[in-house]
Structure 1
Amino acid sequence: MTKPLRFLQHYSPTLQDKIRQLQAQGLLGDYITQRYPQHHTIQTDKALYQYSNEIKQTFLRNAPQLDKVHYDNKLGIEHHALGLNTAISRVQGGKLKAKKEIRISSFFKESPTEFLRMIVVHELAHLKERDHDKAFYQLCQHMEPNYHQLEFDCRVYLTWKSEAKA
């Protein structure tokens, strides 16, 4: 019985076997660093907000304004949440105000540029599409044409990083 790949369970057995082979040979890190050699420099919440807002303005001009985007130390691999999109509703005066907030796991501070973009695109897509359905993934692909490959490779990256922690 082969050990399940926690982050890759929904992929084909053939693809999982290829990743297991790389894992057994100790080559997962090489696979990732060869494909994604650049780490980003977006280290502050202010820079993350600006980065996210630029993508939003390019693709989702009519979506609600982002009130806050920040790194969150409480989100991580072990919590099965790498990003969260929330709307906090408050009554102000006689009006109901909803503040849109995106939280990105601090795990992504040390990730390749493409993975940060992928997770930001994912969370921004939730401004328009709440569910992970066909329309949601079409929107993700509109904002990042390589979205599905990046999501897969990010899951390989998570597998590699969680293996290194163990």
Structure 2
Amino acid sequence: MKYLSAYPAPLVAQVRRLMDGGQLAPLLVKRYPTVHAVRTDAALYAYVGELKAAFMRKADPLSRVSYDNRLHVVRHALGTHTTISRVQGTRLKAKREIRIAGLFRDLPTEFLRMIVVHELAHLKEREHDRAFYQLCAHLEPNYGQYEFDLRAYLCHLEAGGATLWSVPRPGLAGAADAGRA
């Protein structure tokens, strides 16, 4: 249970018991029944922009926000915040980018909000310290619970559990039905 390694042993044991008893998946689905509608990079950019405008108006602007399907596997991260410096004439210009793991495309709104808040907090606080997590809690009061539940879900997936939320893809169902006719 590598995703829960920083949590107290009794809490990890409780999650393990829920997983062993087959109760974790139904609990998560009951707690988070619906999936968000933020599917495209443009919609994600707009979603992040709304949160940033509501809480962090004076922070540096974002030049790019996108889903990255390789992120979880390659960097062992669920989201990244990067600053890219480029020379423009005699000036050095910095562009900020946020990339969110493609896994979040098919998860509940709360999990997407949690990772977006995490990456937005990096605009102000670089390190994962007390000030960083206080900012996360300010942006999303339930940040800690959402992060824990997401980590429990990742443990469920790592143990070979089924994906709990699925989103019907437009055009895919019709194509499969047409092949049977």
5+ residue gaps, structure 1, are: none
Amino acid paired to 2:54: T
Cα RMSD (Å) of the superposition? 1.4
Of all paired residues, the percent bearing the same amino acid is 54
1:104 aligns with 2:100: yes
SS in 1 for 2:137: helix
Q: Alignment partner for residue 19 of structure 1, among 15, 20, 25?
A: 15
Match for residue 53 of structure 1? 49
SS in 2 for 1:164: coil
Match for residue 124 of structure 2? 128
Equivalent residues in 2 for 1:1-166, closer than 5 Å:
5-76=1-72, 79-164=75-160
TM-score of the superposed pair, with normalisation by structure 1: 0.94
Q: Deviation above 3 Å: which 4+ runs of structure 1? A: none
After superposition, give the CA deviation of every residue in 1:53-84 in whole Å (9 maximum; x if it has no partner). 10001110110001000000111167420000
- Say whether the 8 Å CA contact 1:77–1:158 is kept in structure 2: no
SS in 2 for 1:23: helix
Distance in 2 (CA, whole Å) between partners of 1:103 and 1:135 is 22
- Say whether the 8 Å CA contact 1:64–1:127 is kept in structure 2: yes
- Say whether the 8 Å CA contact 1:87–1:98 is kept in structure 2: yes
Greater gyration radius: 2
Amino acid paired to 2:71: L
